[in-house]
Amino acid sequence: MIAIFLSYYLLLVLLLLITITYQGKKSKIAVILIFLALALLVAIRPPQSVPDTEAYRNHFLEASLNHFFRNIRRLRFEVGYEFLTAFFRTVYGTNSRLFFGTIALINFSLITFFLCKAYDFFRVGKEFNVNKQKFVLYSLIIYLAFYGAYSNMIVLRSGLGISFFFGSLVYLNKSKFKGLMLFLIGFSFHTSIIFGLIGLILFLLKIKNQKVLIFWWSLIVLIYFSFISFYIIPNILEYAVTLPFLSRYAFYVNELAFADLNISWKFIVNLIFAFIIIMQNKLSFLERKFILILLAALTIQSILSSLVLVERISDIFMAFHFILLGYYFARRSSNSLFFLCKIGFVVSILYIFVIRIIF
């Protein structure tokens, strides 16, 4: 178990060194090989040791296309994930590890493809002055450091949903129809993606004033550190779940008993990330768009911090810190030891958050 996660981290370091040092076809081949190695590590993780893996494994073994079409109105999970599981169950037989590895490769490929499209679609103005390969690879490394492991080892359905939601945001700038279609595909993998509608609306806004972003960030800090959520949200929810159409969510109110007055270090780190991005002299078009998504995530978590499972919602938006940080580091890329230590520190911190969840 420890060997798997240590190997995963060492592969991230290797990918980082390749990105800083090399460019061209050789580096692309190395990246593909590292992708395959990471997917292999995801595939061979012990089901009993990683949260939710055993449940997904058992569901895979029980799946079939015949069952899918016969029970399409009474499926356990979302229709997109159920179909994908049934399809690969038919192709792979009982080899659940091959299924888990394939899910990882699908996510890696989707994120890579959408990052390349993001570079093409958001390359607007003089502020956007980064190398495409470095932008894509730095963003990928940040993604792999947390969500590459978290989304592919623990929250498979949500991970696939987030990948398509990311694609919907990228395409929304170019084609609203394609953006909406990708959003619906993401929703078919996890219903929590419905909260992404907030992100789609924010993405259509044009906020160029840095003072507005600083005010928004400051308001988040005030709400979170006042712990107002612990005094207001429980009362609101206890009343809300008495309404007939919201009674099914009573479980979340019960979970409030386990929410302590403490500080989420993951929240603090993303708060710092947002501040660093906002305080730059000139934000590119890409940064102005995606910083709104990150601020939305921080707003949701600050208001609902008394809910234990609120991160399942905020992660839908929080995930996109990888494109902001990828652009940030690509803009400052160098072969210096200081730069390596700086990005290596960020990657290590994010990976530690995954390790804390699993262990």
**Residue 5 clears pLDDT 60, i.e. is over it:** yes
CA atoms of 92 and 225, how far apart (whole Å)? 50
pLDDT at 294: 92
pLDDT one-digit tens code per residue, 58-100 = 999 999 999 899 988 888 889 999 999 999 999 999 999 999 9
**Residue 353 clears pLDDT 70, i.e. is over it:** yes
What is the reported pTM?
0.90
Confidence of residue 356 (pLDDT cuts 50, 70, 90): confident
Judge contact between 128 and 285, C-beta under 8 A.
Answer: yes
Span 27-51, mean pLDDT?
87
- Which residue stretches of 75-209 are H helix? 79-92, 96-121, 132-143, 149-153, 156-172, 176-187, 196-203
CA atoms of 112 and 139, how far apart (whole Å)? 9
Residue percentage of the chain with pLDDT more than 70: 92
| Lowest-confidence region among 48-52, 249-253, 285-289 | 249-253
**Residue 256 clears pLDDT 60, i.e. is over it:** no
Confidence of residue 22 (pLDDT cuts 50, 70, 90): confident
Query: b/e for 135-155, b at 16 or more Cβ within 10 A?
Result: bbbbbbbbbbbbbbbbbbbbb
pLDDT one-digit tens code per residue, 104-114 = 999 999 999 99
CA atoms of 100 and 201, how far apart (whole Å)? 33
Confidence of residue 47 (pLDDT cuts 50, 70, 90): confident
Burial of 280 (0-12, 13-18, 19+ CB in 10 A): middle
pLDDT at 76: 86
Nearest to 76 by CA among 59, 89, 64, 92: 59
What are the tokens at 140?
Answer: 């990928």
Torsion of CA 240, 246, 251, 255, to 10 degrees: -30
Q: Choose the most confident range, by mean pLDDT, from 104-113, 206-215, 225-234.
A: 104-113
* Average pLDDT score, the chain: 87
pLDDT at 259: 58
pLDDT at 245: 59
- 103: DSSP letter: H
Nearest to 270 by CA among 307, 304, 318: 318
CA atoms of 199 and 299, how far apart (whole Å)? 12
pLDDT at 335: 87
Phi and psi at residue 198, to the nearest 5°: -60, -45
What are the tokens at 290?
Answer: 């995606």
